[in-house]
Amino acid sequence: GIQVEQSPPDLILQEGANSTLRCNFSDSVNNLQWFHQNPWGQLINLFYIPSGTKQNGRLSATTVATERYSLLYISSSQTTDSGVYFCAVPSSGGYNKLIFGAGTRLAVHP
């Protein structure tokens, strides 16, 4: 089945710094989601981005489907950005169960 790899596994930033998180997937997909898991465990939808680039405030994401990767950019990081970031793709390229990467754990220090 499809494999999803995220890097780096851990990231420590000072408040105000920028960062790039990467998600590689092993097969073609027709959609991809980025999530932020808050300290209470809830997965917050950040982006639904099958291809191209989207921006939402200080966050943006780019998916290059032909090269099987997606990037999540966080600019001017804040302590509230801390948590785990996951990317996920459908298992068979369609509308089905999501396969998650192992996540990037981000800690932003003041």
The residues binding another protein (CB under 8 A) are 31, 33, 35, 40-45, 48, 86, 88, 90-91, 95-100, 102-103
Q: Looking at beta carbons only, is 17 or 65 nearer to another protein?
A: 65
CB of 65 to another protein, least distance (A): 14
For 5, phi then psi, to 5°, come to: -120, 135
CB of 39 to another protein, least distance (A): 12
CB of 14 to another protein, least distance (A): 28
CB of 83 to another protein, least distance (A): 14
Rounded Cα distance between 22 and 104, Å, is: 9
The runs of H, that is alpha helices, within the chain are: none
Rounded Cα distance between 23 and 103, Å, is: 9
For 13, phi then psi, to 5°, come to: -130, 155
Q: Looking at beta carbons only, is 31 or 75 nearer to another protein?
A: 31
Q: Looking at beta carbons only, is 38 or 76 nearer to another protein?
A: 38
Rounded Cα distance between 25 and 68, Å, is: 5
Question: How many angstroms from the chain centroid is the CA of residue 94?
Answer: 19
Q: Looking at beta carbons only, is 6 or 77 nearer to another protein?
A: 6
